[in-house]
């Protein structure tokens, strides 16, 4: 097995040798950021378990593989719009596709979006809307802190860009479908930017999945800025195959009176690492961060979250739940920061896990770092099994044991699904999770949403 | 009461000074500053140790040289110059003491001031005391009474001379020399401490107690406690610590090892009141302690109870390895930090045996500009069936310049485990104070009442005599009049 | 209908029931009374099949079948209903889904087709009005956030839905105010037919003012020490349990 130095050196070679391709087609701001990011990466490298934040996820096996890297957009020869048609009743979305981290060239035009809303690729946005783009790009995901962010920023070429202007309310969710489709093992770098302006409202659903059974590694970074009084939802559905690696870092900054809900649902993926950072940068923000993971076989999931109460009078709710079966391993780290003088903070965090097999492992670190006194903060974590009393209660009403267990497991997961603010999506996920818990979908080959295909 | 007035009282309450900060004028025999193999040989020679001890020390020292000070704690520690410390200092005394009357009157005066009844009147109090000043054990009371039951309670140095086989068998088995930076340092240079051996089937009839005091200037204190409880035995052990006020920081790096065999039970209580530094953060003890017990036997029990009010910096995680089937451990802690104190403390519960149980109750109280962190690990190993843990870690903030942090780690590798962690952070509610005011209790007393009520769950776990002292200390460290 | 012979039960090696004998016929209402710790709730749990308890001796037959041999769900489908002393809260499981699953399991057992959604909702409405249950209770998760009284009413509602042959109501009156007590008792009385039977387990006589028993048993220290008509309940109310204890040498 390669050691970490070899892996880091390979990236250095890639950066140096591919420099011309990296610079080509990207804006000056992207390229300038790229250079600094690479210097940071040279210092940080791919995080190892010696790094306290990556204590429970070993990334060396994930990176130790001869992936192909596309530094240039490769047209996928079939019409993905044809393959991908969302058939969920009533879930009417504005859908765009990305392939291997790039904004798909043949995306249908989104004609129903309100005026001024922009949905396009990052490369295109940097060129066409430099004022918006440059004001936000690289401002929230800092490259000097996490090697994965540094690496992403150094290699970033494309991704999706969504802009919602002041006062605009988008009723229909925007659905971003990230497809991995290649005839060779592939590492994709995807860099996204979402800007929601004052009093605007938007809901975004991001679905990750794989179209072929090659080994994939995706290192994606999403930056989000939510301005005053805006309401923003971000739903992430991770449904890839067992041979894939999802490294997904999200950085959300909130301004005063904004309201953000994110819900990350991990159904399938070989190794999943979600870094979820929120900074409540002005007063009276509300943040809701939820997540659920259902893991079996040799899958690994690690949700690492940080909610930073930088200013007073904000509220945050965080709740992650997981069900672990077979040899699956999971980790959760939640860190709530309450900065000095961020008085009147309310911050709640909880992580609950069900272990279904003796070979499954869960490591959880719910943490509070509190430097203000007039706060209400609590956190809790539990690891356990199904409630035997509840099980008996169901059985005493005539429900057989298997079904009773299924009901309780579903109920356990449902608490997170219930937080989804898009009704048809909620129903769809309920159905999907029910199936997933019954072992009826081993791996959905297509989108989690459009899984009848 | 007006908000400003409440704040004022809160400030008074939280800006108190250390009450145990006197220096005793005793002549000390020290070996000069610095650390190298020659110093270690000198320590070992001065203590007339057998060869296995010197080998142990040198091995530890050589390992220590390869190690770095740990940085993961939520502590801001200035660099420590390990060559600027005196590693061995002992009060000069004539020959060995025969009776209590032979103890240096100055030392006795010191202990009187500390309120430790070293005299024979201790018989009434039923507490046997070993006193460690700077690095050496001064006098162990009640040795004979205990010996009748086969109990050994003596200074570590004496144990090395009189019971080398026991020391050799158990020393370093729970905290190996390479365990961590401070454990390695202690293993290299420790000068004294206490040794307790409870034979099979014996319930120790009295509380055993050790008082530690750092007195001399520029010294570090490195003591070592070893407790071995044979099958079906029981002991309750108490440990108290104080140090004089000095402008420089002083280093304390101790090791406690406890071995609990089948059906045996140990209660280990600590009241830690090392000098915390002054209001501006000057001086104070750096307290880096490795305490660990192993519940080796079936159904064995180990309880830790601690009240931590002192030290400029505390780095301490009393831990239990639950190896025997059905063994259990409890950890009760109150940690108070005030002014510029920093504490990163908690516990580790390592579940290995089947049907093992652990309970963690931690109460942090932060005041002034201090930082108070709970850090704890609950680990259930893969083949451990039926493990149970419940942890509750609460933080109370007095004032808006302090910090309260919670860093639990739960590592669970068996599906039959049931592990729960809860934590809350709160301040004393104005409504609580108002409620007290309305019943005629002034704000200062109200804060005292509330803080003591908050800590009660832990203090109740301590032996009576200690509980009273602990309660007093809580008051003192938050201000003399609180309570 | 139910026949218990010489039933001995222990938990973790401790004997709780020490030879219970009891016969219940269709149409009968039996009350089992007794001081705390007598083993009343244990008896109820054992009948429903809680596996915390070990049956060390004796037999229980229900409609000619060996009850002790059955899984809890099969006992339920055979027609045994346990009204829990402490109904369990099950967050995330809606009462509707819960009841629908249970009703259809019962139907399947009887060889009937599952109810359609609309028939099921209709049935729910009927039963709700029968037992005077507030409709909003059924919109929530099972027992979650219910008050003590609401939980007990919900038990009676479930009993109405499942139409058991034998209902065992474990301390159904505990924690109820007089209005809730009346609702619960009315529900039980309305559900009573010539073909079903009820065992009411209670500490106090109060409930028996509303649900009039045919037979009253006193359970003490794991045995039924006295059996008589409903007047026994009044006697117990008046004299307390001490005389029972004295008679039985403790």
Q: Inspect the interface and report whether the beta carbons of B406 and A365 lie closer than 8 Å.
A: no
Show residues of chain A in contact with C107, CB under 8 Å. Answer: none
Please give, rounded to a whole number of angstroms, the shortest distance from the CA of B227 to a CA of chain A: 32
Question: What is residue B301's predicted lDDT score, i.e. its pLDDT?
Answer: 97
Which residues on B lie below 8 Å from A370 (Cβ)?
Answer: 395, 397, 403-405, 425
ipTM of the complex model: 0.80
Contact C73 A400 (CB under 8 A): yes
Of C71, C76, C97, the CB nearest to A397: C76
Q: Is C77 on the interface with A (CB under 8 A)?
A: yes
Cβ pair B284, B249 in contact under 8 A: yes
CA B313, distance to chain mean position in Å, is 13
Query: Quick check: helix, strand or coil at residue A229?
Result: coil
Say whether pLDDT at A69 is over 50. Answer: yes
pLDDT in tens, A93-129: 888 889 899 998 888 788 889 999 999 999 999 999 9
Q: A331-365, pLDDT tens digit by residue? A: 999 999 999 989 999 999 999 999 988 889 999 99
Whole-number Å distance between alpha carbons of A315 and B332: 31
Q: Which of A358, A361, A366 sits opposite B408 (nearest CB)?
A: A366
- The distance of A368 to chain C (nearest Cα, Å) reads 27
Closest CA to A120 of A83, A172, A158, A78: A158
pLDDT category of residue A241 using cuts at 50, 70 and 90 = confident
Cα first-last separation, chain B: 18
| B52 close to A (CB below 8 A) | no
pLDDT for B64: 92
pLDDT of residue A441 exceeding 70: no
CA distance A163 to chain B (A): 38
A→C interface, C-beta within 8 Å: 387, 389-390, 392-401, 403-404, 407-408, 410-415, 418
In chain C, the N- to C-terminal Cα span, in Å, equals 34
Judged by CB atoms closer than 8 Å, whether chains meet at C71 and A389 is answered as: no
Q: Which residue would you say has higher pLDDT here, C136 or A422?
A: A422
pLDDT at residue number B478: 67
Q: Which of C84, C146, C172 is nearest to A392 (CA)?
A: C84
Q: What is the mean pLDDT of chain A?
A: 89
Q: Nearest CA to CA, how far is C186 from chain A (Å)? A: 22
The helix/strand/coil state of B48 is coil
Token pair belonging to A49: 């378990």
Whole-angstrom CA distances from B309 to B19, B303, B340 are 12, 19, 12
- Determine whether the interchain pair A415/C49 forms a contact, defined as Cβ–Cβ distance below 8 Å: no
Question: What per-residue confidence (pLDDT) applies to C2?
Answer: 94
Q: What is the CA radius of gyration of chain B?
A: 22
Q: Which candidate, B106, B131, B105, B133, places its Cα nearest to that of B116?
A: B131
What is the rounded CA–CA span in Å between residue C66 and residue C44?
16
Tokens representing B81 are 């110059």
Asked if residue A314 has pLDDT above 90, the reply is: yes
Sheet holding C65-66, edge to edge: C14-24, C2-11, C54-62, C65-66
H or E element, residue B157: helix B156-162
The reply to whether B377 touches chain A by the CB within 8 Å rule is: no
Partner-chain contact C92 A411, CB within 8 Å: yes
pLDDT in tens, B163-180: 999 999 999 999 998 899
Write down the pTM of the prediction.
Answer: 0.82
Q: How far is Cα C151 from Cα C132, in angstroms, rounded to an integer?
A: 13
Residues B446-474 have a mean pLDDT of 78
pLDDT, tens digit (0-9, with 9 covering 90-100), for B80-135: 888 888 887 766 544 444 455 555 666 566 556 555 544 433 433 445 566 665 55
Of the candidates C20, C59, C12, which has an alpha carbon nearest to the alpha carbon of residue C38? Answer: C20
8-state DSSP, B298: T
Mean pLDDT in runs of 10 for chain C (250 residues)?
A: 94 90 94 88 90 90 92 90 88 82 89 90 88 75 84 89 92 82 87 92 85 91 89 83 75
pLDDT at B15: 54
Phi, psi dihedrals of residue A370, rounded to the nearest 5° = -125, 120
DSSP track, B381-429:
-TT--S-EEEEEEEEEEESSS-EEEEEEEEEE--TT-EEEEEEEEEE--
Estimate the crossing angle of helix C117-130 against helix C178-191, to 10 degrees.
120
CA distance C241 to chain A (A): 31
Residues 6+ apart with CB under 8 A from B152: B146, B159, B163, B166, B195, B196, B197
Query: pLDDT at position A450, please?
Result: 40
C-chain CB neighbours of A389 within 8 Å are 88
Least confident piece of the model among A234-238, B20-24, B185-189, B465-469: B20-24
Residues contacting B427, CB < 8 A, separation 6+: A373, A374, A375, B396, B397, B398
Of residues A14, A2, A11, A15, the one with CA closest to residue A60: A2
Parallel, antiparallel, or unpaired: how do β-strands A94-99 and A201-210 relate?
Answer: unpaired
Contact of C129 with chain A, judged by CB distance below 8 Å, is answered with no
Q: Search chain A and give the residue with CA nearest C80.
A: A396
Q: What angle do CA B307, B312, B318 make, to 5 degrees?
A: 40
Task: State how far the alpha carbon of A192 is from the alpha carbons of A264, B82, B312, C88, C238, in Å.
Answer: 16, 50, 47, 46, 78
Identify which of A389, A398, A401 has the shortest CB distance to residue C162. A398
For residues A70-88, average pLDDT? 66
Higher-confidence position of A230 and C52: A230
State the Cα–Cα distance between residues C202 and C31, nearest whole angstrom.
7
B474 and B336 in contact (C-beta within 8 Å)? yes
Check CB contact under 8 Å for C49 and A396.
yes
Select from A111, A329, A124, A133 the least CA-distant residue to A223. Answer: A133
Report the share of chain A in percent with pLDDT over 90: 66
Q: What is the pLDDT of residues A157-182, one digit of tens each?
A: 999 999 999 999 999 999 998 888 88
In this complex, the residue of A392, A397, A415 whose CB is nearest that of residue C92 is A415
Do strands A160-164 and A118-121 pair parallel, antiparallel, or not at all (unpaired)? Answer: antiparallel
Question: CA–CA separation, C22 vs A220, rounded Å?
Answer: 69
Query: H/E/C letters for each residue in chain C?
Result: CEEEEEEEEEECCEEEEEEEEEEECCCCEEEEECCCCCCHHHHHHHHHCCCCCEEEEEEEEECCEEHHHCCHHHHHHHCEEEECCCCCCEEEEEHHHHHHHHHHHHHHHCCCCCCCHHHHHHHHHHHHHHCCCCHHHHHCEECCCCCHHHHHHHHHHHHHHHCCCEEEEECCCCCCCHHHHHHHHHHHHHHCCCCCEEEEEECCCHHHHCCCCCEEEEEECCEEEEEECCHHHHHHHHHCCHHHHHHCCC
Q: Does C44 touch chain A (CB under 8 A)?
A: no
DSSP, res B379: E
What the block records as the tokens of B313 is 């910096």
- Domain positions in chain B: 28-477
pLDDT band per the 50, 70, 90 thresholds, residue A452: very low
- The H or E element that residue B127 is part of is strand B127-133
Averaged over B199-209, what is the pLDDT? 89
Where is average pLDDT lowest: A278-282, B214-218, B399-403? Answer: B214-218
The pairs formed by C115-124 with CB atoms below 8 angstroms and a separation of 24 or more are: C123/C161, C124/C96, C124/C99, C124/C161
* Averaged confidence pLDDT in chain B: 81
Rg from Cα positions in chain C? 18
Query: Which among B399, B407, B415 has CB closest to A385?
Result: B415
Name all chains with 3 or more CB-CB pairs below 8 Å to chain B. A
Averaged over B346-352, what is the pLDDT? Answer: 95
The percent of residues above 90 in pLDDT, for chain B, comes to 40
The helix/strand/coil state of B283 is coil
Which tens digits make up the pLDDT trace of B365-387? 988 888 999 999 999 999 999 99
Give the pLDDT mean for B256-261: 96
| Angstrom distance (rounded) from CA A300 to CA A317 | 25
Residue A245 has pLDDT above 80, yes or no: yes
Tell me: pLDDT of A318 over 70: yes
Say whether A377 and B398 touch across the interface (CB within 8 A).
no
The residue written with tokens 């990176």 in the block is A63
Rounded to the nearest angstrom, the minimum Cα separation between A165 and chain B is 39
pLDDT the model gives residue A449: 44
Give dist(CA A1, CA A203) in Å, integer. Answer: 43
The pLDDT of residue A389 is above 80: yes
C-alpha of C250 from chain center: 29
* Degrees, nearest 5: CA angle A369-B445-B453: 55
Cβ atoms within 10 Å, residue B348:
19
Is pLDDT of B325 > 90? yes
pLDDT digits (tens, 9 = 90+) for A357-380: 888 999 999 999 999 888 888 888
- What pLDDT sits at residue A138? 95
pLDDT in tens, C82-139: 998 888 888 778 888 888 888 988 999 999 999 988 899 899 888 888 877 777 777 7
Q: What is the pLDDT of residue B167?
A: 94
For residue B140, list its beta bridge partners: B130
Domain C2-247 has CATH 3.90.1150.10: no
Q: What is the pLDDT of residue A443?
A: 46
Do A403 and C101 lie within an 8 Å CB cutoff?
A: yes
Looking at CA atoms only, how far is residue A429 from chain C in angstroms? 15
CA of B371 to nearest chain A CA: how many angstroms apart? 8
pLDDT of residue B96: 45
Domain ranges for chain A, please list them: 4-385
**Cβ count near C130 (within 10 Å):** 16
How far apart are the C-alpha atoms of B9 and B428, rounded to whole Å? 13
Considering only CA atoms, which of B272, B317, B265, B267 is closest in space to residue B295?
B265
The reported pLDDT for the residue numbered A153 is 96
Tokens of A308: 């930073």
Q: For residue B185, what pLDDT is reported?
A: 92
Confidence tier at B480 by pLDDT (50, 70, 90):
very low
> B408 touching A, CB under 8 A?
yes
**Would you call A372 and B400 a contact, using CB atoms and an 8 Å cutoff?**
yes
Mark yes or no for CB contact A367/B411 under 8 Å.
no
Q: Which chains touch C (3 or more CB pairs under 8 A)?
A: A
Mean pLDDT in residue range A433-443? 74
User: Which chain A residues are Cβ-neighbours of B398 within 8 angstroms?
Assistant: 373
Give chain A's radius of gyration (CA, Å): 21
From the list B403, B417, B421, the residue facing A381 with the nearest CB is: B421
pLDDT at B436: 66
Inter-chain CB proximity C49 and A390 less than 8 Å: no
Question: Which residues in chain A touch residue B413, judged by CB atoms under 8 angstroms apart?
Answer: 361
The span from the CA of B415 to the CA of A324, in Å, is: 9
Query: What is the DSSP secondary-structure string of B324-339?
Result: STT-EEEEEEEEEE-T
Contact at CB, A398 and C50, closer than 8 angstroms: no
- For residue A109, the distance in angstroms to the closest alpha carbon of chain C comes to 40
């Amino acid at each position: 097995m390669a050691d970490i130095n070899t892996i880091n050196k390979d990236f250095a070679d890639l950066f140096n040798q591919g420099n011309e391709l990296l610079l080509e087609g990207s804006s000056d701001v992207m390229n300038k950021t790229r250079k600094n990011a690479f210097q940071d990466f040279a210092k940080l490298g791919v995080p190892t378990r010696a790094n306290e934040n990556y204590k429970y996820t070993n990334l060396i096996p994930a990176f130790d593989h001869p992936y192909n890297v596309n530094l240039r957009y490769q047209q996928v020869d079939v019409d993905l719009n044809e393959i991908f048609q969302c058939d969920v009743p009533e879930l009417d979305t504005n859908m765009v596709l990305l392939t291997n981290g790039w904004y798909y060239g043949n995306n249908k035009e989104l004609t129903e979006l309100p005026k001024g809303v922009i949905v396009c690729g990052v490369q295109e946005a940097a060129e066409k809307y430099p004022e918006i783009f440059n004001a936000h790009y690289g401002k929230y995901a800092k490259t000097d802190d996490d090697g994965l962010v540094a690496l992403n920023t150094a290699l970033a070429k494309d991704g999706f860009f969504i802009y919602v202007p002041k006062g605009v309310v988008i009723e229909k969710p925007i659905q971003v479908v990230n497809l991995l489709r290649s005839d060779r093992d592939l590492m994709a770098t995807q860099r996204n930017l979402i800007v929601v302006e004052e009093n605007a409202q938007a809901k975004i659903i991001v679905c990750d999945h794989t179209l072929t059974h090659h080994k994939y590694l995706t290192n994606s970074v999403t930056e989000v800025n939510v301005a005053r009084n805006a309401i923003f939802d971000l739903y992430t559905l991770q449904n890839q195959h067992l041979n894939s690696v999802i490294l997904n870092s999200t950085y959300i900054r909130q301004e005063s009176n904004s309201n953000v809900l994110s819900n990350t649902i991990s159904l399938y993926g070989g190794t999943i690492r979600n870094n979820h950072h929120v900074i409540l940068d002005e007063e009276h923000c509300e943040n809701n961060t939820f997540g659920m993971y259902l893991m079996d076989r040799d899958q690994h999931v690690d949700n690492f979250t940080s909610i930073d109460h930088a200013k007073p009078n904000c509220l945050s709710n965080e709740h992650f739940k997981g069900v672990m079966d077979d040899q699956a391993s999971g980790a959760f780290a939640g860190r709530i920061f309450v900065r000095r003088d961020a008085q009147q903070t309310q911050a709640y965090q909880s992580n609950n896990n069900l272990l279904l097999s003796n070979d499954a492992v869960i490591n959880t670190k719910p943490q509070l770092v509190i430097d203000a006194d007039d706060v209400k903060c609590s956190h809790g974590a539990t690891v356990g099994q199904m409630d035997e009393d509840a099980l008996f209660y169901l059985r005493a009403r005539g429900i057989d044991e298997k079904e009773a267990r299924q009901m309780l497991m579903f109920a356990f997961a449902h608490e997170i699904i219930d937080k989804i603010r898009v009704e048809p999506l909620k129903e769809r996920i309920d159905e999907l999770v029910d199936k997933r818990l019954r072992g009826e979908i081993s791996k959905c080959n297509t989108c989690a949403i459009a899984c009848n295909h | 009461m007006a908000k400003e007035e409440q704040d004022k009282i809160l400030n008074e309450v939280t800006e108190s000074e250390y009450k145990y900060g006197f220096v005793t004028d005793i002549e000390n025999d020290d070996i000069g500053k610095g650390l190298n193999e020659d110093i270690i040989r000198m320590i070992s020679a001065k203590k007339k140790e057998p060869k296995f001890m010197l080998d142990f020390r040198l091995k530890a020292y050589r390992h220590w040289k390869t190690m770095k000070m740990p940085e993961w704690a939520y502590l801001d520690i200035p660099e420590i110059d390990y060559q600027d410390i005196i590693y061995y200092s002992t009060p000069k005394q004539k020959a060995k003491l025969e009776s209590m009357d032979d103890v240096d009157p100055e030392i006795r005066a010191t202990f009187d001031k500390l309120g430790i009844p070293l005299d024979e009147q201790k018989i009434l109090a039923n507490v046997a005391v070993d006193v460690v000043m700077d690095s050496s054990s001064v006098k162990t009371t009640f040795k004979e009474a205990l010996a009748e039951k086969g109990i050994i309670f003596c200074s570590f140095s004496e144990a090395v001379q009189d019971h080398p086989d026991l020391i050799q068998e158990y020393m370093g088995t729970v905290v190996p020399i390479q365990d961590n930076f401070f454990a390695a340092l202690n293993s290299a240079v420790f000068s004294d401490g206490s040794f307790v051996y409870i034979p099979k089937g014996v319930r120790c009839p009295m509380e055993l107690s050790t008082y530690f005091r750092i007195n001399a200037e520029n010294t570090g204190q490195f003591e070592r406690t070893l407790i071995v409880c044979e099958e079906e035995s029981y002991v309750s052990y108490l440990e108290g610590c104080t140090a004089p006020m000095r402008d420089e920081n002083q280093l304390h790096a101790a090791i406690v090892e406890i071995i609990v065999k089948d059906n045996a039970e140990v209660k280990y209580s600590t009241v830690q009141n090392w000098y915390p530094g002054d209001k501006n953060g000057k001086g104070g003890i750096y307290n880096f302690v490795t305490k660990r017990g192993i519940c080796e036997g079936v159904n064995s029990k180990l309880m830790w109870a601690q009240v931590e009010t002192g030290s400029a910096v505390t780095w301490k995680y009393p831990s239990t390895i639950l190896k025997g089937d059905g063994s259990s451990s409890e950890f009760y802690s109150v940690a108070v930090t005030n002014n510029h104190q920093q504490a990163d403390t908690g516990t580790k519960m390592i579940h290995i045996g089947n049907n093992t149980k652990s309970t963690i109750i931690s109460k942090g109280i932060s005041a002034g500009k201090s930082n108070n962190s709970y850090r704890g690990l609950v680990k259930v190993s893969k083949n451990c069936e039926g493990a149970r843990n419940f942890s509750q870690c609460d933080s109370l903030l007095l004032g808006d310049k302090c910090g309260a942090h919670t860093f639990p780690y739960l590592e669970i590798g068996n599906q039959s485990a049931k592990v729960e962690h809860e934590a809350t952070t709160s301040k004393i509610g104005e409504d609580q104070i108002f409620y007290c005011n309305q019943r005629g209790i002034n704000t200062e007393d109200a804060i005292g009442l509330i803080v003591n009520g908050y800590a009660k769950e832990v203090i109740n776990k301590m032996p009576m005599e200690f509980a009273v002292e602990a309660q007093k200390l809580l008051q003192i460290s938050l201000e003399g009049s609180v309570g | 209908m139910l026949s218990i012979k010489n039933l001995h039960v222990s938990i973790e090696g401790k004997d709780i029931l020490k030879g219970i004998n009891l016969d219940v016929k269709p149409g009968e209402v039996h009350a089992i009374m007794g001081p705390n710790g007598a083993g009343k709730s244990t008896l109820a749990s054992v009948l429903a099949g809680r596996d915390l308890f070990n049956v060390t001796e004796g037999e229980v037959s229900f409609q000619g079948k060996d009850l002790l041999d059955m899984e809890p769900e099969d006992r339920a489908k055979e027609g045994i209903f346990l009204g829990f002393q402490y109904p369990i809260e099950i967050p995330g499981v809606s009462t509707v889904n819960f009841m629908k699953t249970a009703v259809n399991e019962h139907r399947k057992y009887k060889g009937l087709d599952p109810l359609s959604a609309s028939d099921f909702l209709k049935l729910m409405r009927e039963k709700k009005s029968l037992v005077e249950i507030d409709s909003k209770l059924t919109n929530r998760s099972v027992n979650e956030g219910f008050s003590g009284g609401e939980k007990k009413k919900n038990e009676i509602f479930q009993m109405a839905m499942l139409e058991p042959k034998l209902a065992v109501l474990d301390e159904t009156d505990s924690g109820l105010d007089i209005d809730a007590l009346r609702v619960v008792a009315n529900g039980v009385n309305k559900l009573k037919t010539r073909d079903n039977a009820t065992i009411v387990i209670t500490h106090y006589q109060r409930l028996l003012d509303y649900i009039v028993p045919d037979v009253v048993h006193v359970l003490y220290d794991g045995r039924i020490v006295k059996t008589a008509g409903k007047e026994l309940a009044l006697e117990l109310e008046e004299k307390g349990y001490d005389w029972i204890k004295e008679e039985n040498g403790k």
